[in-house]
């Protein structure tokens, strides 16, 4: 990465243990550049979601530092960091709790003080970016899974984050909903860190892949190269992608 450009996300030496003493992160270093789309892969228990939860302070590390667009994550900056890091949970319903889609999307920026026309414009832009403007008056819990996922992303886009962190964004989606989601994510003008087991998604969306195992980064490079390395994938309990986007299909 160009050292003159401030990363959207910078993680240095991150260490974390669960309350029972189980190590989860063992000195993780990672940078995501502005507008860069990076996949975070690894077997179950590798530490991927644990790392993602640290990016906006949902978990607190024992050691290491996190910066978002140059701002260090500290107790006094936590509110600002949570605006800058748009975290999208695997279960969209965890983020949707208002009676209308529009109210859910407005909640975050309103909580940060936006009102009136400025708030309306922010909400309209987020809805349009995710292709869900037509759902603005619908109850979120009456939507399909794919629609809920896109609305959940709109709720964090409305805060104009520096980076989106998406936890298994295609999990549980039918093929059409998956395609719709990938299309809108490809068009977003924001850095993305994508935690996923969907290797086809990685090839379509993320030019770069970071592979984790046992709480450490074990590989970091172009997605097509890493996902073509069958020996590397097998060593970390992953299989090469197959099908129309796969390297072996």
Phi and psi at residue 37, to the nearest 5°: -110, 115
CB 31 within 8 A of CB 191: no
Token pair recorded at residue 219: 């590989």
Residue 2 belongs to some domain of the structure: no
Give the distance between the most distant pair of CA atoms in the chain: 56
In a domain, 146, yes or no: no
pLDDT tens digits along 203-219: 999 999 999 999 999 99
pLDDT for 94 equals 86
What are the beta bridge partners of residue 195? 40, 167
Is residue 50, in this structure, part of any structural domain at all?
yes
Tokens 């450490």: give the residue: 216
pLDDT at 93: 85
User: Coil, strand, or helix at residue 214?
Assistant: coil
Per-residue model confidence (pLDDT) at position 3 = 58
Is 143 within the bounds of a domain? Answer: no
Strand partners, 216: 213
Domain that holds residue 46: 9-90+162-235
CATH of the domain at 181: 3.40.50.300
Residue 125 falls within a domain, yes or no? Answer: no
Within-domain flag for 74: yes
* pTM of the model as a whole: 0.93
pLDDT in tens, 157-207: 999 999 999 999 999 999 999 999 999 999 999 999 999 999 999 999 999
Task: Output 108-112 pairs: Cβ under 8 A, ≥24 positions apart.
Answer: 108/83, 108/155, 108/156, 108/158, 108/159, 109/158, 109/159, 112/83, 112/159
Let me know if residue 242 belongs to a domain.
no
Tell me what the pLDDT averaged over the chain comes to.
Answer: 93
Residue 1 confidence class, pLDDT cut points 50, 70, 90: low
Residue 2, pLDDT above cutoff 90: no
pLDDT in tens, 95-145: 999 999 999 999 999 999 999 999 999 999 999 999 999 999 999 999 999
Domain membership of residue 99 (yes or no) is no
Count of structural domains, the chain: 1
Q: Would you state the pLDDT for residue 243?
A: 53
């Amino acid at each position: 990465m160009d050292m003159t450009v401030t990363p959207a996300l910078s993680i240095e030496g991150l260490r974390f243990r669960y309350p029972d003493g189980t190590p989860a992160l063992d000195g993780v270093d990672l940078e995501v550049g502005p507008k860069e789309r990076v996949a975070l892969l690894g077997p179950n228990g590798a530490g991927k979601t644990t790392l993602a939860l640290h990016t906006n302070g949902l978990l607190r590390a024992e050691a290491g530092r996190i910066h978002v667009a140059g701002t260090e994550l500290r107790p006094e900056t936590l509110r600002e960091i949570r605006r800058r890091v748009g975290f999208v949970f695997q279960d969209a319903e965890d983020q949707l709790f208002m009676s209308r889609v529009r109210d859910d999307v407005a909640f975050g920026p309103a909580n940060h003080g936006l009102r009136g026309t400025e708030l309306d414009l922010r909400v309209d832009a987020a809805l349009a970016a995710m292709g869900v403007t037509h759902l603005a008056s619908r109850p979120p819990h009456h939507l399909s899974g794919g629609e809920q996922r896109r609305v959940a992303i709109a709720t964090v886009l409305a805060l104009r984050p520096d980076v989106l962190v998406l936890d298994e964004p295609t999990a549980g989606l039918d093929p059409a909903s998956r395609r719709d989601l990938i299309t809108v994510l490809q068009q977003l003008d924001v850095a993305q860190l994508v935690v996923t087991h969907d290797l086809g998604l990685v090839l379509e969306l993320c030019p770069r892949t970071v592979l984790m195992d046992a709480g450490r980064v074990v590989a970091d490079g172009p997605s097509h190269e890493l996902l073509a390395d069958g020996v590397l994938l097998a060593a970390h309990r992953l299989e090469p992608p197959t099908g129309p986007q796969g390297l072996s299909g």
